[in-house]
Amino acid sequence: MPNETPVFSIQDLDFYYGAKRALSGISMEILPRKVTALIGPSGCGKSTYLRCLNRMNDTIPGTRIEGKVLLHGEDIYAPTMNVVSLRQRVGMVFQKPNPFPQSVFDNVAFGPRVMGLAESKADLEETVERSLRAAALWDEVRDDLRQDALGLSLGQQQRLCIARVVAVQPEVILMDESTSALDPVATLHIEELIAELKQDYTIVIVTHSMQQAARVSDVAGFFWLGELVEFSQTAEMFTRPKQELTEAYITGRMG
């Protein structure tokens, strides 16, 4: 791995749903302006791990973590951490598009309004346009920003959700299988978008598609039964995996 200061440093992370340990001893560094893909079979802990990075699991009763998750050296599970601020810095795009039942404009403007990031109406309009451009959606919606967001196609809705995340100026974008509900054309749009967004953002994706991981990621982590089996450059993992289990999964012999 290059000698860059990591955005996230995860140290010996264990995660529990009640008495059940779902993640065991995860250590990983997530580097700036790279796409990190998390792969592995269903139920192996990928999405649980992703949600540890912005404390989305806090909403589930009876969960707890051990170990450390450091964002630029700051423990995000420290009692002093402002969780609202954390989720602005570490945004998430979910598996299914979840636009608000409002206009396209109001969806993107929601975060900046709530957080006071726009000082004037012109500021807000500029933020909305910039975010829609960043999500490669501006040209498709610019003529009618007041249209109902729920009237967009699924692929457009997912790009709108990405624009909504980008609008609050995050440092990291988490994407939890964000193309699994989309058709191949919409999926390609999102993959192209990920390649563009990584110039400005650190991105972590969970994907069931090894082809997608190979196409879009720089670094990959292979999860199996709650453990991180292998973590390396994507090209290296897919051509010269270090662990037999990784090779068995990638070649389709297991999982």
**Bridge-partner residues for 103, per DSSP?**
148
Q: Which of 31, 157, 29, 167 minimizes the C-alpha distance to 88?
A: 167
The CATH number of domain 8-102+171-250 is 3.30.420.40: no
Residue 2: pLDDT over 70: no
Q: Are 219 and 233 in contact (CB under 8 A)?
A: yes
Sole residue written with tokens 């001893």: 25
Residues of the chain above pLDDT 90, percent? 93
- As a whole number of angstroms, the distance between CA 242 and CA 40 comes to 16
Over range 17-37, report the average pLDDT: 97
Q: pLDDT class for 119, splitting at 50, 70, 90?
A: confident
Query: What per-residue confidence (pLDDT) applies to 3?
Result: 67
The two counts, helices (H) then strands (E), for the chain are 10, 10
CB count, 10 Å around CB of 80? 6
Q: Are 155 and 190 in contact (CB under 8 A)?
A: yes
Q: Which residues of 178-189 are buried (b: 16+ CB within 10 A; e: fewer)?
A: bbebbeeebbeb
Over range 89-102, report the average pLDDT: 95
Kindly list the domain boundaries of the chain, sorted by start residue.
8-102+171-250
pTM: 0.94
